[in-house]
A and B are shown apart, each in its own frame.
Chain A
Amino acid sequence: MCGVKTYFHSVTLDEEKCRGCTNCIKKCPTEAIRVRKGKARIINERCIDCGECLRVCPYHAKKAITDSFDMLQSFKYRIALPAPSFYGQFKSGFSRGDILKALLKIGFDEVYEVARGAEIVTAATKKLFETEKLKKPVISSACPAVVRLIQVRFPSLIDNLLKLEAPMEVAAAISRQKAALAHHLADDEIGVFFISPCAAKVTSVKAPFAKEKSHVDGVLPMQDVFLKVIAVLENDPEACTLEQAGFEGIRWASSGGESLALGNDRYLAVDGIHNVLTILESIENDRLEEVDFVEVLACYGGCLGGPLTVENAFVAKTRLKKHIDQARKSDLPTVVPSHDELLWTLDIEHRPVMKLDDDLDKAMKKLEALETINDSLPGLDCGACGAPNCRALAEDIVRGMAHETDCIFVLREKIRALAAEMMELEAKMPPVLDREKTNGTGKTGIGGDASDGG
């Protein structure tokens, strides 16, 4: 797609584990997966890292590329940025302070809560709303999977996106700056690590969509950090001093949290990628009335349902509620960037990955062919061809990525036709042999010859 720059995304396949079933191809919201030679293949430029395939794979053959703990060794001073959803992973006997303290025990020198960054983003969003220059409904950009979905499937909604940095970036920038000042560190001596609930956040660090470079150095999967933390977790009444974020920031982990923090009733919160598709469709049809802000999260339940979390999203929600109830009212930290500092520095672009051809004439011919092929397919959407549905196979065929006989029904028809033709051929005798036969039975053979014998 993008010339020299290859397109990075985090979700990959574990070849060993994949059995080539059709679970993931059917669930992918951008039809980015095909089964080829018994293994699932991801069409890279279509993948939005929503993690739906990670969730549905019965063999756990999909994984997210993340960073590893070893990376901590490369930095003199390491800062942990736990996503708000991290708190929902632990049994309720432990306070938020206990959890943060445990992070200091496993190799970090400092913690900065992403929930704190979330509060700053909320403040900036309110300011932006006051300017009244926003295109309504404003669509949250907090979930990178949704932003990518909009880039590939809903380009007309790009203008509706809230063009502000994500809480993770804000937290990283502030903590980095503070550490540099307080400990006289050079920028490259500081390692900032995000503890992530999902693959999409990895991508937003490795290949940021609205800026040149992320302030985050590494992204660690929440599952791995959880295991390390649980081993050293203990009650420590003193640890509460580490708690910096208020309840409004923590609540961002759940669907609706970002909206509630805005204090405006005219919002709608949608979670789960397939629900997100429906709602984006109705915004595109201009059918969503009386709503100023739309919070859209790829995972069911919001980030608590992220594919790299440990706990079931519903259980985690109850646990998170305890932390929300115990947290104080949000107030902003002492160093707060102004809202224009949070504005995106790059515009994001439409990524027309669904386009059949760059040339409109050719694209039209391909679409015509696609329709004809689609009409000839059985319409069973069985997936045996390796494409998610018959139409997708038709599309692959016109793109030159598949063949009509990849459809087992078309193949069977062709074999049947071939068999019939073979039978027919088989019945035909070479003229030399035929003569003998004619003499014997007087029935078959070329007309003239037959009458000769009679």
Chain B
Amino acid sequence: MSGIIRLHFELPGNDLMSAGEASSSVKKKLNQLGINPAAVKKAAIAMYEAEINAIIHAGGGTLAVTITKDRINIVISDHGPGIADLDLAMQEGYSTAPDYIREMGFGAGMGLPNIKRNADRLEIKSAVGQGTTVEITVFF
């Protein structure tokens, strides 16, 4: 299949050591494609935050990437607890992260707002008890 690049990553739950590896690897590939740095940065930030969220709030999940000539589409899915009030979660500073997570420098409640700022298109589907799917698109 040509003209479309598909990548798939497993995000191991509660493994903060490897958190960010998937995003970092995708970022390298975007640079190899010669995508403009501003778009790469936007995609990298949004993808990184969603990856971290799946790992620390939902016990891990998957990250699927589709790259075509004009865009990157990133779908991060998990089978975690889901988000009860999405509007609330989207607010800056809102976080349910426990103390030990905060000690590691996460849990400022800035992740989702940052995803929103950097994604050109964002769709979040979440159901309590079932999981969350975050779909991010950035145009080149």
Contacts and interface: CB of A to CB of B under 8 A. Distances in A.
12 contacts: A153-B31, A281-B20, A285-B44, A286-B114, A287-B48, A354-B31, A358-B34, A361-B69, A363-B34, A364-B2, A364-B3, A368-B2
Interface stretch (B21-29, B78-86, B95-103, B128-136): B21-29
Interface stretch (B9-17, B35-43, B119-127): B35-43
Given A355-B33, A360-B33, A285 B5 contact: no
A285 B69 contact: no
Interface pairs A-B: 9 shortest CB-CB: A155-B37, A355-B34, A156-B41, A156-B37, A285-B48, A363-B33, A286-B45, A356-B32, A354-B31
A70 to B, nearest CB: 43
A260 interface: no
Contacts of B33: 355-356, 360, 363-364, 367
A155 B67 CA distance: 20
B108 interface: yes
A155 B3 CA distance: 25
Given A281-B20, A360-B33, A360-B34, 16 more contacts: A155-B37, A158-B37, A284-B41, A285-B48, A286-B114, A355-B31, A355-B32, A357-B34, A361-B3, A363-B32, A363-B33, A364-B3, A364-B33, A367-B33, A368-B1, A368-B2
A238 interface: no
Contacts of A370: 32
A156 B40 contact: yes
B9 to A, nearest CB: 13
A347 interface: no
Interface of B: 1-3, 5, 7, 20, 23-24, 27-29, 31-34, 37-38, 40-41, 44-45, 48, 67, 69, 105, 108, 114
B3 to A, nearest CB: 7
A289 interface: yes
Contacts of A360: 33-34, 69
B74 to A, nearest CB: 14
Interface of A: 153, 155-156, 158, 281, 284-287, 289, 350, 352, 354-358, 360-361, 363-365, 367-368, 370-371, 395
A356 B34 contact: yes
A350 B27 CA distance: 16
Contacts of B48: 285, 287
Contacts of B105: 287
A354 B31 CA distance: 7
Contacts of A286: 45, 114
A177 B6 CA distance: 59
Contacts of B23: 285
B125 to A, nearest CB: 24
Contacts of B5: 364, 367-368, 371
A225 to B, nearest CB: 40
Contact of B32 (A284, A285, A287, A354): A354
A155 B28 CA distance: 12
Nearest to A158: B37
B92 to A, nearest CB: 13
Contacts of A361: 3, 69
B27 to A, nearest CB: 8
Contacts of B31: 153, 155, 352, 354-355
B44 A284 contact: yes
Contacts of B69: 360-361, 364
B53 to A, nearest CB: 13
